[in-house]
Structure 1
Protein backbone atom coordinates (compact mmCIF):
# COMPACT_ATOMS: atom_id res chain seq x y z
CA UNK A 1 0.00 0.00 0.00
CA UNK A 2 1.04 3.61 -0.62
CA UNK A 3 0.60 6.05 2.26
CA UNK A 4 0.66 9.83 2.47
CA UNK A 5 0.06 10.28 6.21
CA UNK A 6 1.83 7.19 7.60
CA UNK A 7 5.10 5.36 7.24
CA UNK A 8 5.05 1.57 7.52
CA UNK A 9 8.15 -0.56 7.96
CA UNK A 10 8.72 -4.23 8.77
CA UNK A 11 11.77 -6.08 10.03
CA UNK A 12 12.11 -9.58 11.51
CA UNK A 13 8.41 -10.19 12.17
CA UNK A 14 7.87 -6.70 13.66
CA UNK A 15 5.97 -4.01 11.73
CA UNK A 16 5.94 -0.34 12.74
CA UNK A 17 3.20 2.11 11.76
CA UNK A 18 4.19 5.74 12.31
CA UNK A 19 1.72 8.61 12.21
CA UNK A 20 3.62 11.06 10.03
CA UNK A 21 1.98 14.48 10.25
CA UNK A 22 4.22 16.20 12.80
CA UNK A 23 3.26 19.64 11.50
CA UNK A 24 -0.25 19.12 12.95
CA UNK A 25 0.85 16.98 15.91
CA UNK A 26 -0.26 13.85 14.05
CA UNK A 27 -3.91 14.88 14.20
CA UNK A 28 -6.11 12.65 12.11
CA UNK A 29 -8.45 13.41 9.25
CA UNK A 30 -10.33 11.21 6.79
CA UNK A 31 -7.09 10.25 5.02
CA UNK A 32 -5.32 9.20 8.22
CA UNK A 33 -8.37 7.19 9.26
CA UNK A 34 -8.54 5.39 5.91
CA UNK A 35 -4.81 4.69 5.84
CA UNK A 36 -4.70 3.39 9.42
CA UNK A 37 -7.63 1.10 8.65
CA UNK A 38 -5.91 -0.22 5.53
CA UNK A 39 -2.52 -0.63 7.20
CA UNK A 40 -3.86 -2.60 10.15
CA UNK A 41 -5.97 -4.82 7.94
CA UNK A 42 -3.04 -5.54 5.65
CA UNK A 43 -0.56 -6.26 8.45
CA UNK A 44 -3.13 -8.31 10.32
CA UNK A 45 -3.38 -10.55 7.25
CA UNK A 46 0.40 -10.81 6.73
CA UNK A 47 1.64 -14.14 8.17
CA UNK A 48 5.23 -12.94 8.56
CA UNK A 49 4.17 -10.11 10.88
CA UNK A 50 3.83 -11.22 14.50
CA UNK A 51 3.59 -7.86 16.26
CA UNK A 52 2.88 -4.24 15.37
CA UNK A 53 4.14 -1.00 16.93
CA UNK A 54 2.04 2.15 16.54
CA UNK A 55 3.86 5.43 17.14
CA UNK A 56 4.11 9.02 15.96
CA UNK A 57 6.69 11.25 14.32
CA UNK A 58 7.54 14.45 16.18
CA UNK A 59 6.85 15.74 19.68
CA UNK A 60 3.23 14.50 19.89
CA UNK A 61 1.83 11.00 19.53
CA UNK A 62 -1.58 12.24 18.34
CA UNK A 63 -3.51 15.41 19.09
CA UNK A 64 -6.88 13.95 18.09
CA UNK A 65 -8.92 15.35 15.23
CA UNK A 66 -7.45 17.75 12.70
CA UNK A 67 -8.97 21.24 13.06
CA UNK A 68 -9.45 21.69 9.31
CA UNK A 69 -11.26 18.35 9.18
CA UNK A 70 -13.46 19.46 12.09
CA UNK A 71 -14.29 22.71 10.29
CA UNK A 72 -15.34 20.74 7.23
CA UNK A 73 -17.49 18.46 9.36
CA UNK A 74 -19.35 21.48 10.71
CA UNK A 75 -20.99 21.84 7.30
CA UNK A 76 -21.96 18.18 6.97
CA UNK A 77 -25.55 16.99 6.95
CA UNK A 78 -26.70 14.66 9.71
CA UNK A 79 -26.26 11.63 7.45
CA UNK A 80 -22.78 12.78 6.40
CA UNK A 81 -21.79 13.32 10.03
CA UNK A 82 -22.97 9.83 10.99
CA UNK A 83 -21.11 8.23 8.07
CA UNK A 84 -17.95 10.17 8.90
CA UNK A 85 -18.12 9.21 12.59
CA UNK A 86 -18.65 5.58 11.64
CA UNK A 87 -15.40 5.49 9.65
CA UNK A 88 -13.53 6.60 12.80
CA UNK A 89 -15.36 4.00 14.89
CA UNK A 90 -14.49 1.30 12.36
CA UNK A 91 -10.83 2.34 12.29
CA UNK A 92 -10.55 2.07 16.07
CA UNK A 93 -12.24 -1.34 15.96
CA UNK A 94 -9.80 -2.46 13.26
CA UNK A 95 -6.88 -1.62 15.57
CA UNK A 96 -8.55 -3.25 18.59
CA UNK A 97 -9.51 -6.42 16.72
CA UNK A 98 -6.26 -6.79 14.77
CA UNK A 99 -5.17 -10.44 15.13
CA UNK A 100 -1.60 -9.33 15.80
CA UNK A 101 -0.64 -7.79 19.17
CA UNK A 102 -0.24 -4.00 18.96
CA UNK A 103 2.13 -1.93 21.09
CA UNK A 104 1.51 1.81 21.40
CA UNK A 105 4.87 3.62 21.52
CA UNK A 106 3.71 6.91 23.02
CA UNK A 107 6.58 9.32 22.44
CA UNK A 108 4.63 12.49 23.27
CA UNK A 109 1.34 14.14 24.16
CA UNK A 110 -1.86 12.26 23.42
CA UNK A 111 -5.21 14.03 23.29
CA UNK A 112 -8.83 13.16 22.51
CA UNK A 113 -9.00 10.65 19.65
CA UNK A 114 -5.31 9.92 20.16
CA UNK A 115 -6.24 8.40 23.51
CA UNK A 116 -8.67 6.17 21.65
CA UNK A 117 -5.84 4.93 19.46
CA UNK A 118 -3.68 4.10 22.49
CA UNK A 119 -6.58 2.42 24.27
CA UNK A 120 -7.31 0.25 21.23
CA UNK A 121 -3.77 -1.15 21.39
CA UNK A 122 -2.89 -4.15 23.56
CA UNK A 123 0.14 -2.69 25.33
CA UNK A 124 1.13 0.95 25.81
CA UNK A 125 4.55 2.36 26.71
CA UNK A 126 4.87 6.11 27.25
CA UNK A 127 7.66 8.57 27.86
CA UNK A 128 7.56 10.20 31.27
CA UNK A 129 7.07 13.65 29.71
CA UNK A 130 3.87 12.68 27.85
CA UNK A 131 0.55 14.22 28.84
CA UNK A 132 -2.93 12.90 28.19
CA UNK A 133 -6.27 14.64 27.86
CA UNK A 134 -9.81 13.70 26.93
CA UNK A 135 -10.47 17.25 25.78
CA UNK A 136 -13.79 16.83 23.95
CA UNK A 137 -15.99 18.45 26.63
CA UNK A 138 -14.01 21.70 26.28
CA UNK A 139 -15.25 21.89 22.69
CA UNK A 140 -18.82 20.88 23.42
CA UNK A 141 -18.20 17.38 22.06
CA UNK A 142 -18.23 13.79 23.34
CA UNK A 143 -15.47 11.14 23.33
CA UNK A 144 -18.13 8.80 21.99
CA UNK A 145 -16.36 6.65 19.40
CA UNK A 146 -13.30 6.18 21.58
CA UNK A 147 -15.28 5.49 24.76
CA UNK A 148 -15.53 1.66 24.47
CA UNK A 149 -11.74 1.40 24.39
CA UNK A 150 -10.87 4.14 26.87
CA UNK A 151 -13.34 2.85 29.46
CA UNK A 152 -11.91 -0.66 29.11
CA UNK A 153 -8.38 0.71 29.43
CA UNK A 154 -8.74 3.00 32.46
CA UNK A 155 -11.98 1.92 34.09
CA UNK A 156 -15.39 3.47 34.57
CA UNK A 157 -14.58 5.74 37.50
CA UNK A 158 -11.51 7.34 35.96
CA UNK A 159 -13.23 7.65 32.60
CA UNK A 160 -16.18 9.44 34.18
CA UNK A 161 -13.86 11.95 35.81
CA UNK A 162 -11.71 12.72 32.80
CA UNK A 163 -14.57 12.67 30.29
CA UNK A 164 -16.43 15.40 32.19
CA UNK A 165 -13.50 17.48 33.47
CA UNK A 166 -11.28 17.31 30.36
CA UNK A 167 -8.33 17.65 32.75
CA UNK A 168 -4.85 17.01 31.46
CA UNK A 169 -2.90 14.33 33.32
CA UNK A 170 0.66 13.08 33.14
CA UNK A 171 2.25 9.74 32.33
CA UNK A 172 2.58 8.78 35.99
CA UNK A 173 -1.18 9.15 36.41
CA UNK A 174 -1.79 7.23 33.18
CA UNK A 175 0.33 4.41 34.61
CA UNK A 176 -1.50 4.48 37.95
CA UNK A 177 -4.83 4.22 36.13
CA UNK A 178 -3.61 1.33 33.99
CA UNK A 179 -4.05 3.32 30.79
CA UNK A 180 -0.38 2.70 29.97
CA UNK A 181 1.65 -0.29 31.10
CA UNK A 182 5.10 1.26 31.39
CA UNK A 183 6.67 4.72 31.59
CA UNK A 184 10.25 5.35 30.53
CA UNK A 185 12.72 8.11 29.83
CA UNK A 186 12.87 9.19 26.18
CA UNK A 187 16.26 7.48 25.92
CA UNK A 188 14.88 4.15 27.16
CA UNK A 189 11.64 4.15 25.14
CA UNK A 190 12.88 2.19 22.15
CA UNK A 191 14.65 -0.35 24.33
CA UNK A 192 11.48 -1.02 26.34
CA UNK A 193 9.32 -1.33 23.24
CA UNK A 194 11.87 -3.67 21.64
CA UNK A 195 11.96 -5.79 24.80
CA UNK A 196 8.18 -6.23 24.78
CA UNK A 197 8.10 -6.86 21.03
CA UNK A 198 10.79 -9.54 21.35
CA UNK A 199 8.75 -11.29 24.03
CA UNK A 200 5.65 -11.27 21.82
CA UNK A 201 7.55 -12.52 18.77
CA UNK A 202 9.13 -15.31 20.83
CA UNK A 203 5.74 -16.74 21.79
CA UNK A 204 3.54 -19.02 19.71
CA UNK A 205 1.86 -16.82 17.08
CA UNK A 206 -1.34 -18.84 17.32
CA UNK A 207 -1.39 -18.72 21.13
CA UNK A 208 -0.80 -14.96 21.12
CA UNK A 209 -3.63 -14.43 18.64
CA UNK A 210 -6.03 -16.68 20.53
CA UNK A 211 -5.05 -15.19 23.92
CA UNK A 212 -5.87 -11.71 22.64
CA UNK A 213 -9.22 -12.94 21.35
CA UNK A 214 -9.86 -14.78 24.63
CA UNK A 215 -9.61 -11.59 26.69
CA UNK A 216 -11.84 -9.65 24.30
CA UNK A 217 -14.54 -12.32 24.19
CA UNK A 218 -14.50 -13.47 27.84
CA UNK A 219 -14.17 -10.10 29.59
CA UNK A 220 -17.41 -9.06 31.25
CA UNK A 221 -19.25 -12.31 30.57
CA UNK A 222 -21.18 -14.05 33.30
CA UNK A 223 -19.38 -17.10 34.69
CA UNK A 224 -21.96 -19.71 33.82
CA UNK A 225 -22.21 -23.04 32.04
CA UNK A 226 -21.90 -21.46 28.63
CA UNK A 227 -18.65 -19.73 29.58
CA UNK A 228 -17.25 -22.89 31.17
CA UNK A 229 -17.98 -24.83 28.00
CA UNK A 230 -16.54 -22.05 25.82
CA UNK A 231 -13.25 -21.89 27.71
CA UNK A 232 -12.96 -25.69 27.80
CA UNK A 233 -13.49 -25.82 24.04
CA UNK A 234 -10.82 -23.17 23.49
CA UNK A 235 -8.12 -24.96 25.49
CA UNK A 236 -9.04 -28.31 23.92
CA UNK A 237 -8.74 -26.83 20.42
CA UNK A 238 -5.37 -25.20 21.04
CA UNK A 239 -3.97 -28.36 22.66
CA UNK A 240 -4.81 -30.19 19.45
CA UNK A 241 -3.32 -27.49 17.21
CA UNK A 242 0.07 -27.91 15.54
CA UNK A 243 1.64 -25.14 17.59
CA UNK A 244 0.09 -26.49 20.77
CA UNK A 245 1.57 -29.94 20.15
CA UNK A 246 4.93 -28.45 19.13
CA UNK A 247 5.06 -26.28 22.25
CA UNK A 248 4.55 -29.24 24.57
CA UNK A 249 7.03 -31.41 22.64
CA UNK A 250 9.72 -28.73 22.66
CA UNK A 251 9.27 -28.19 26.40
CA UNK A 252 9.58 -31.90 27.17
CA UNK A 253 12.54 -32.27 24.81
CA UNK A 254 14.24 -29.19 26.28
CA UNK A 255 14.66 -27.45 22.91
CA UNK A 256 13.47 -24.25 21.28
CA UNK A 257 10.02 -24.39 19.69
CA UNK A 258 9.82 -24.30 15.91
CA UNK A 259 8.43 -20.75 15.87
CA UNK A 260 11.41 -19.31 17.75
CA UNK A 261 13.47 -16.87 15.65
Structure 2
Protein backbone atom coordinates (compact mmCIF):
# COMPACT_ATOMS: atom_id res chain seq x y z
CA UNK A 1 0.00 0.00 0.00
CA UNK A 2 1.51 3.33 -1.09
CA UNK A 3 2.19 6.31 1.14
CA UNK A 4 -0.57 8.84 0.45
CA UNK A 5 1.69 11.78 1.24
CA UNK A 6 3.01 11.38 -2.29
CA UNK A 7 -0.29 12.81 -3.54
CA UNK A 8 -0.46 16.65 -3.45
CA UNK A 9 -4.10 16.67 -2.34
CA UNK A 10 -3.08 15.20 1.03
CA UNK A 11 -0.95 18.27 1.70
CA UNK A 12 -4.07 20.44 1.86
CA UNK A 13 -6.38 17.78 3.28
CA UNK A 14 -4.12 15.49 5.37
CA UNK A 15 -5.15 11.88 5.82
CA UNK A 16 -5.62 11.03 9.48
CA UNK A 17 -6.12 7.40 8.46
CA UNK A 18 -3.93 6.86 5.38
CA UNK A 19 -4.83 3.18 5.24
CA UNK A 20 -8.44 4.10 4.46
CA UNK A 21 -10.06 5.29 1.26
CA UNK A 22 -10.09 9.09 1.14
CA UNK A 23 -13.27 10.86 -0.01
CA UNK A 24 -13.17 14.49 -1.15
CA UNK A 25 -16.70 15.78 -1.43
CA UNK A 26 -19.56 18.01 -0.39
CA UNK A 27 -23.08 16.78 0.25
CA UNK A 28 -24.49 17.90 -3.10
CA UNK A 29 -26.55 15.44 -5.21
CA UNK A 30 -23.36 14.28 -6.91
CA UNK A 31 -21.29 14.26 -3.76
CA UNK A 32 -23.70 12.12 -1.77
CA UNK A 33 -23.59 9.38 -4.38
CA UNK A 34 -20.12 8.51 -3.08
CA UNK A 35 -20.88 8.95 0.62
CA UNK A 36 -24.14 6.96 0.43
CA UNK A 37 -22.36 4.20 -1.47
CA UNK A 38 -19.56 4.05 1.08
CA UNK A 39 -22.06 3.87 3.90
CA UNK A 40 -24.04 1.15 2.12
CA UNK A 41 -21.04 -1.09 1.47
CA UNK A 42 -19.35 -0.54 4.83
CA UNK A 43 -15.90 0.17 3.42
CA UNK A 44 -13.74 2.16 5.89
CA UNK A 45 -13.09 5.67 4.59
CA UNK A 46 -12.17 9.18 5.62
CA UNK A 47 -14.26 12.10 4.38
CA UNK A 48 -12.85 15.55 3.61
CA UNK A 49 -15.14 18.56 3.27
CA UNK A 50 -14.46 20.45 0.06
CA UNK A 51 -15.93 23.95 0.12
CA UNK A 52 -17.02 24.76 -3.43
CA UNK A 53 -18.27 28.14 -2.21
CA UNK A 54 -14.63 29.04 -1.58
CA UNK A 55 -13.52 27.53 -4.92
CA UNK A 56 -11.49 24.81 -3.22
CA UNK A 57 -11.99 22.50 -6.19
CA UNK A 58 -9.89 24.91 -8.27
CA UNK A 59 -6.86 24.79 -5.99
CA UNK A 60 -3.73 23.10 -7.38
CA UNK A 61 -4.03 20.36 -4.77
CA UNK A 62 -7.57 19.39 -5.75
CA UNK A 63 -6.87 19.71 -9.45
CA UNK A 64 -3.98 17.27 -9.03
CA UNK A 65 -6.65 14.66 -8.22
CA UNK A 66 -9.42 15.86 -10.52
CA UNK A 67 -8.34 18.14 -13.36
CA UNK A 68 -12.02 18.85 -14.04
CA UNK A 69 -12.35 20.62 -10.70
CA UNK A 70 -15.52 18.87 -9.52
CA UNK A 71 -16.55 16.80 -6.52
CA UNK A 72 -16.62 13.99 -5.59
CA UNK A 73 -13.21 12.42 -5.98
CA UNK A 74 -11.56 9.55 -4.14
CA UNK A 75 -8.08 8.30 -3.40
CA UNK A 76 -7.95 4.61 -2.57
CA UNK A 77 -4.62 3.50 -1.08
CA UNK A 78 -5.55 -0.11 -1.82
CA UNK A 79 -6.55 0.07 -5.45
CA UNK A 80 -6.16 -2.59 -8.16
CA UNK A 81 -3.03 -4.64 -7.62
CA UNK A 82 -2.58 -3.01 -4.21
CA UNK A 83 -1.55 0.25 -5.82
CA UNK A 84 -3.23 3.57 -5.00
CA UNK A 85 -6.00 4.72 -7.30
CA UNK A 86 -7.21 8.30 -7.73
CA UNK A 87 -10.64 8.52 -9.31
CA UNK A 88 -13.17 11.22 -10.16
CA UNK A 89 -16.66 11.30 -11.75
CA UNK A 90 -19.39 10.03 -9.46
CA UNK A 91 -20.61 7.34 -11.85
CA UNK A 92 -17.12 5.89 -12.21
CA UNK A 93 -16.69 5.96 -8.43
CA UNK A 94 -19.95 4.03 -7.93
CA UNK A 95 -18.92 1.34 -10.40
CA UNK A 96 -15.44 1.08 -8.90
CA UNK A 97 -16.72 0.71 -5.34
CA UNK A 98 -19.35 -1.82 -6.42
CA UNK A 99 -16.77 -3.94 -8.21
CA UNK A 100 -14.22 -3.59 -5.41
CA UNK A 101 -16.66 -4.94 -2.82
CA UNK A 102 -18.99 -7.08 -4.94
CA UNK A 103 -21.99 -5.09 -3.68
CA UNK A 104 -24.91 -3.25 -5.32
CA UNK A 105 -24.00 -4.31 -8.87
CA UNK A 106 -25.29 -7.64 -10.22
CA UNK A 107 -22.74 -10.28 -11.14
CA UNK A 108 -24.88 -11.52 -14.02
CA UNK A 109 -23.48 -9.79 -17.15
CA UNK A 110 -26.86 -8.83 -18.63
CA UNK A 111 -28.16 -7.42 -15.34
CA UNK A 112 -24.84 -5.64 -14.81
CA UNK A 113 -25.06 -3.80 -18.10
CA UNK A 114 -28.72 -2.98 -17.48
CA UNK A 115 -27.76 -1.46 -14.14
CA UNK A 116 -24.98 0.56 -15.76
CA UNK A 117 -27.42 1.92 -18.35
CA UNK A 118 -29.58 3.34 -15.54
CA UNK A 119 -26.54 4.85 -13.84
CA UNK A 120 -25.70 6.53 -17.14
CA UNK A 121 -29.32 7.64 -17.50
CA UNK A 122 -28.84 9.53 -14.27
CA UNK A 123 -25.44 11.00 -15.12
CA UNK A 124 -26.33 11.94 -18.70
CA UNK A 125 -29.94 13.07 -18.27
CA UNK A 126 -31.37 13.41 -14.76
CA UNK A 127 -28.41 15.24 -13.25
CA UNK A 128 -27.84 17.80 -16.01
CA UNK A 129 -31.54 18.49 -16.62
CA UNK A 130 -32.52 18.78 -12.95
CA UNK A 131 -29.49 20.96 -12.36
CA UNK A 132 -30.47 23.34 -15.15
CA UNK A 133 -34.00 23.54 -13.80
CA UNK A 134 -32.56 24.48 -10.43
CA UNK A 135 -30.41 27.20 -11.99
CA UNK A 136 -33.27 28.81 -13.90
CA UNK A 137 -35.85 28.39 -11.13
CA UNK A 138 -33.94 29.15 -7.94
CA UNK A 139 -30.59 30.70 -8.76
CA UNK A 140 -29.20 33.34 -11.15
CA UNK A 141 -31.31 32.13 -14.05
CA UNK A 142 -34.43 33.51 -12.37
CA UNK A 143 -33.43 36.97 -13.54
CA UNK A 144 -33.56 36.00 -17.22
CA UNK A 145 -36.45 37.69 -18.99
CA UNK A 146 -36.74 34.90 -21.51
CA UNK A 147 -38.51 32.06 -19.68
CA UNK A 148 -38.13 29.54 -22.47
CA UNK A 149 -35.05 27.90 -20.92
CA UNK A 150 -36.91 27.36 -17.65
CA UNK A 151 -39.93 26.00 -19.51
CA UNK A 152 -37.70 23.62 -21.45
CA UNK A 153 -36.05 22.22 -18.32
CA UNK A 154 -39.37 21.89 -16.51
CA UNK A 155 -40.77 19.87 -19.41
CA UNK A 156 -37.66 17.73 -19.71
CA UNK A 157 -37.53 17.08 -15.96
CA UNK A 158 -41.17 16.00 -16.05
CA UNK A 159 -40.42 13.68 -18.95
CA UNK A 160 -37.47 12.11 -17.12
CA UNK A 161 -39.54 11.60 -14.00
CA UNK A 162 -42.07 9.88 -16.25
CA UNK A 163 -39.39 7.52 -17.53
CA UNK A 164 -38.50 6.66 -13.94
CA UNK A 165 -42.18 6.27 -13.02
CA UNK A 166 -42.64 3.76 -15.84
CA UNK A 167 -39.48 1.88 -14.93
CA UNK A 168 -40.65 1.43 -11.34
CA UNK A 169 -43.86 -0.31 -12.32
CA UNK A 170 -43.86 -3.60 -10.42
CA UNK A 171 -40.47 -2.81 -8.83
CA UNK A 172 -39.42 -1.39 -5.47
CA UNK A 173 -36.07 -0.31 -6.93
CA UNK A 174 -34.84 0.62 -10.40
CA UNK A 175 -33.37 -2.85 -10.95
CA UNK A 176 -35.82 -4.68 -8.72
CA UNK A 177 -33.11 -5.08 -6.09
CA UNK A 178 -31.44 -2.02 -4.60
CA UNK A 179 -28.35 -1.09 -6.62
CA UNK A 180 -25.99 1.68 -7.64
CA UNK A 181 -28.71 2.87 -10.02
CA UNK A 182 -30.76 3.91 -6.98
CA UNK A 183 -27.73 5.34 -5.18
CA UNK A 184 -27.00 7.51 -8.23
CA UNK A 185 -30.55 8.82 -8.56
CA UNK A 186 -31.97 9.28 -5.05
CA UNK A 187 -30.07 12.46 -4.19
CA UNK A 188 -31.05 14.17 -7.43
CA UNK A 189 -34.77 13.50 -7.07
CA UNK A 190 -34.61 14.60 -3.44
CA UNK A 191 -32.81 17.78 -4.45
CA UNK A 192 -35.28 18.56 -7.23
CA UNK A 193 -38.29 18.69 -4.95
CA UNK A 194 -36.43 19.93 -1.87
CA UNK A 195 -33.47 22.26 -2.34
CA UNK A 196 -34.52 23.34 -5.85
CA UNK A 197 -38.14 23.87 -4.64
CA UNK A 198 -39.51 22.44 -7.89
CA UNK A 199 -42.07 19.97 -6.50
CA UNK A 200 -45.05 21.85 -7.87
CA UNK A 201 -43.27 22.91 -11.05
CA UNK A 202 -42.78 19.30 -12.14
CA UNK A 203 -46.13 18.15 -10.72
CA UNK A 204 -44.30 15.61 -8.57
CA UNK A 205 -47.37 14.61 -6.59
CA UNK A 206 -49.15 13.43 -9.73
CA UNK A 207 -46.71 10.50 -9.69
CA UNK A 208 -47.13 7.48 -7.45
CA UNK A 209 -44.17 5.14 -7.88
CA UNK A 210 -41.35 7.71 -7.85
CA UNK A 211 -42.47 9.33 -4.57
CA UNK A 212 -42.83 5.88 -2.95
CA UNK A 213 -39.37 4.88 -4.24
CA UNK A 214 -37.87 8.10 -2.90
CA UNK A 215 -39.48 7.55 0.49
CA UNK A 216 -38.13 3.99 0.64
CA UNK A 217 -34.66 5.20 -0.30
CA UNK A 218 -34.57 8.04 2.19
CA UNK A 219 -35.64 5.63 4.94
CA UNK A 220 -32.47 3.57 4.53
CA UNK A 221 -30.06 4.25 7.42
CA UNK A 222 -27.03 4.31 5.10
CA UNK A 223 -28.74 6.90 2.90
CA UNK A 224 -29.60 9.05 5.91
CA UNK A 225 -25.99 8.96 7.07
CA UNK A 226 -24.56 9.52 3.61
CA UNK A 227 -26.67 12.61 3.01
CA UNK A 228 -24.86 14.35 5.90
CA UNK A 229 -21.33 13.38 4.85
CA UNK A 230 -18.92 15.06 4.84
CA UNK A 231 -19.95 17.12 7.82
CA UNK A 232 -19.50 20.85 7.49
CA UNK A 233 -16.75 22.30 9.69
CA UNK A 234 -18.01 24.03 12.83
Q: TM-score range by the shorter chain?
A: under 0.3
Higher RCO structure (Cα 8 Å, ≥6 apart) = 2
